Amino acid sequence: MKIKEKSVSLSQKVKEKITEYIMNENLQPDSVIPSEAVLTEMLGVSRYTVREALALLEQDKILYKIQGKGTFVNKVPTHIESGLEKLESITEIIESYGYEPGTIWIGIEENLPTKDMVDKMGLEEDDKVVTFTRIRTANGKVAVYCVDTIKRTDTMEKIPQIIEEESMFNYLKEKHGIEPEYAIAEIIPTLPTAEMIKHMKIKENQLFLLLHQVHYDKEGSPQIYSMDYFNTDVFKFIVNRIR
């Protein structure tokens, strides 16, 4: 059996070629790179493809353009770290810090939705929901208190006692075909609840950041309602903001 080869688009290849060129020529910040016309000839592709590649490099803040002048190399980016604006699972976030993710299960329960859930998830008041409560750890250290809620559907015959899968995103994708495409998150500074203090052995005055989110799929349907309490001793919250 042959492994499926990921076909890489031409623009991607051109992007890499241009990156190589910048490296090889050792171009310094603010120095100009060859014009689009020149790159078109150099690389033997159309201007469209060159512009696609340049657009990608501009998104990555490798280059910037000034109309009428040219395309220039940007400052060396210490800013490449992706921030909150990128939707990642908590497992991915913990791994991106270089930590080993772990999970301590608190429980899985069937409930009636709260008023806020009904509003934000577009539920009926007599719909049922399932709530997964976990503590996520990073290198064994208590990192996040997670409360994730999804709508109870007919495909869920019985509620599992526990989920083996480390990542909630992976579990929901594989078992229920739920795949979040974007989320709207409210950031709320907060002190731990009594429940959290009991389970997490933390100080009462420890500050947390609550990420109160609703996740949507590509079609814009709400899929997951989650309240994640992040220990700010472990995480830095970065947002890349664009004009």
Partner DNA sequence: CAGTGGTCTAGACCACAAG
Partner DNA sequence: TTGTGGTCTAGACCACTGC
Binder to DNA among 20, 28, 42, 48 (CB under 7 A)? Answer: 48
Contact status: 75 vs a second copy (CB under 8 A): yes
Please provide the size of the chain in residues. 243
With CB under 5 to 8 Å by kind, the binding choice for 68 among a second copy, DNA, none is DNA
Q: Which residues pair with 226 in a beta bridge?
A: 148, 213
Tokens of 49: 């493809």
Hey, is 18 helix, strand or coil?
A: helix
Map tokens 């500050």 to a residue: 207
With CB under 5 to 8 Å by kind, the binding choice for 85 among DNA, a second copy, none is a second copy
Question: Of the candidates 227, 222, 226, 228, which has an alpha carbon nearest to the alpha carbon of residue 123?
Answer: 222
Tell me how far apart the alpha carbons of residues 84 and 186 are, in angstroms, rounded to a whole number: 11
Binder to DNA among 24, 26, 67, 205 (CB under 7 A)? Answer: 67
Q: How far is the CB of 20 from DNA (least distance, A)?
A: 17
For the chain, the maximum distance between any two Cα atoms, rounded to a whole number of angstroms, is 67
- Count other C-beta atoms under 10 Å from residue 176's C-beta: 14
Hey, is 128 helix, strand or coil?
A: coil
**What letter represents residue 191's amino acid?**
L
Binder to DNA among 17, 19, 22, 65 (CB under 7 A)? Answer: 65
Contact status: 61 vs a second copy (CB under 8 A): yes
Contact status: 51 vs DNA (CB under 7 A): yes
Which lies closer to a second copy via its Cβ, residue 16 or residue 181?
181
With CB under 5 to 8 Å by kind, the binding choice for 47 among a second copy, DNA, none is DNA
Binder to DNA among 28, 31, 35, 221 (CB under 7 A)? Answer: 35
Q: Which residues bind DNA (CB under 7 A)?
A: 7, 9-11, 33, 35-38, 45-49, 51-52, 65-71
